[in-house]
Amino acid sequence: MLLVRVARPFARIAGLSLAVLAALAVLTGCVRARADLTVSGDYKVSGTMIAATVPTSSDDHGPQLSIPSDLGEQVVVQPYAADGYVGTQLSFANMDFDQFTTLVGGSSAASGNYQLLLRRVGDLVYFTGSIDLRTVPADHSDVELRITFPAGVSSTTGAVDDQTVTWQPKPGSITSLSATSDLSTLATAAWMRWSVLIGALLIGTVLVVSVLALRAHRRSLRIRRR
């Protein structure tokens, strides 16, 4: 689904990460696949991804991800266990759109099941793609994709709650993903806040000067009366 960073060393990660996604499309057991992304105002992506299944034995730890050591602290991989599912939770922060797109579009069998693209055109951020779950069993399937933008959502095929768009793809079908957010409103909002601040400072300065002038005038009148 939505995953990790891609630089040149990423060729080693992409196959492994996307292989897990491909596995989710052909599993005969219960599946949990979740991704939660957040886009920042400086066009970076952070988030978490969970890939898990219901274990078939005590030795079954679900889908496993291994991240190369040269990624340092950019990616955190942890075991996942909740609600009877086991697998892997992967967390990442501040990745650019190209890295995200390179990973998802890497050469893998999963690319036919998961097509995701996050791109910027001027101040617009476009998130598009599709998820093919036609081979995923309907029973006990838990698949969810969520992305939060720093500005309002102007159009989408998902469910919108404020600045967050959510998709819950259904097994046995292909889900189309699309969302657009206009980040130019952030600059407008920042300019308005700055204008209000400057205006408040100017008004405050005028008031202070007026008060001082009034006090000086009253003092001058008292001196004249003497």
Question: pLDDT value at position 29?
Answer: 59
For 4-14, b/e burial (b = at least 16 CB within 10 A) is bbbeeebeebb
What's the number of domains the chain is made of? 2
- Same domain membership, residue 120 and residue 108: yes
Q: Is 148 part of a structural domain of the chain? A: yes
Q: Is 145 part of a structural domain of the chain? A: yes
Question: pLDDT value at position 159?
Answer: 97
- Same domain membership, residue 89 and residue 146: yes
Q: In which domain, by residue range, is 220 found?
A: 184-226
Task: Give pTM, 2 decimals.
Answer: 0.69
Q: Is 2 part of a structural domain of the chain? A: no
Q: Is 58 part of a structural domain of the chain? A: yes
Q: Is 3 part of a structural domain of the chain? A: no
Question: pLDDT value at position 218?
Answer: 64
Are 21 and 51 contacting, i.e. CB atoms less than 8 angstroms apart?
A: yes
Q: Is 18 part of a structural domain of the chain? A: yes
Question: pLDDT value at position 84?
Answer: 92
Question: pLDDT value at position 172?
Answer: 87
pLDDT below 70 — which residues of the chain?
1-29, 65-73, 102-113, 187-226
Question: pLDDT value at position 201?
Answer: 53
E strand residue ranges, the chain: 31-39, 44-53, 75-82, 85-96, 114-121, 124-132, 141-148, 153-156, 159-161, 164-167, 174-182
Rounded Cα–Cα distance for residues 13 and 106 (Å): 10
